[in-house]
Structure 1
């Protein structure tokens, strides 16, 4: 029985969602990524099941549609630009709206752009995004990432996200 597991990838515009998808699917270098208008989708074979990564655009007019996709998702990945301090309150607000909408969905927050010199640490982001308020309600992970070609082989490379997703989804 070859089943499909859907991972919903959300986050504000410019957080790096498309780059995360790109490096989950391929090792090829990518110079720049145009903003997603609408959605992107990537399928990964996880051996035993297929992962469908669905990324919805993060600009303000598109965030309105996010909730409609939650019910089909098995895991929510929320990508945050760790170096975009001024917009963290907005990211926090959008994230908590999503979490209020679905109480059980496992959450993976990516503290992306850790390669930037002004990036906040995982601990700082945990606080900024008020993740302590999630107390044991759901399965939840916060990973430092850099969705860049240079970071592929490092501790912040996207492969860790991929292996975590495979692990989470195989338990379903």
Structure 2
């Protein structure tokens, strides 16, 4: 993240830096002259699950500080086609399904998560034992640390969604309306059903 700590950037601004910094110059093997190089990173193939780790610290000398730059990332339609070596690969669109957040400093803090329920497409905040619904607009925060994307129109064989036929099994009678039942990686709002 090269923007000011309190600024705002998009994922395209920090994913693949276009130029090497002057102090990271590349030495030409033919003439031995230092050149300012251009970084070109490409993926050979795209995974079904794409995990993006946002570098949230800056190191100056021996001192490291946490960055709280707001990184705007797409919830739907992240296009990875420009970053693939084989441009003909189909299925380059990804949809966000979870965000791991870090609250605190470099010395310590607390982790929370926002996860999209694959059955009702709503977002939920997970903070220790507390689970609450959140609006889509609340998912992108200065605390975002790890982004979890799933390739569009692909359901991995290990996913709880791939084995669900017709929705969840009957709910236990001990749940009250508005409670959330967690089964594996899925959250099932009870919506008043007992």
> 1 or 2, which has the higher helix percentage?
1
TM-score, length of structure 1 as denominator length: 0.22
Structure index of larger Rg: 2
> 1 or 2, which has the higher strand percentage?
2
TM-score, length of structure 2 as denominator length: 0.20
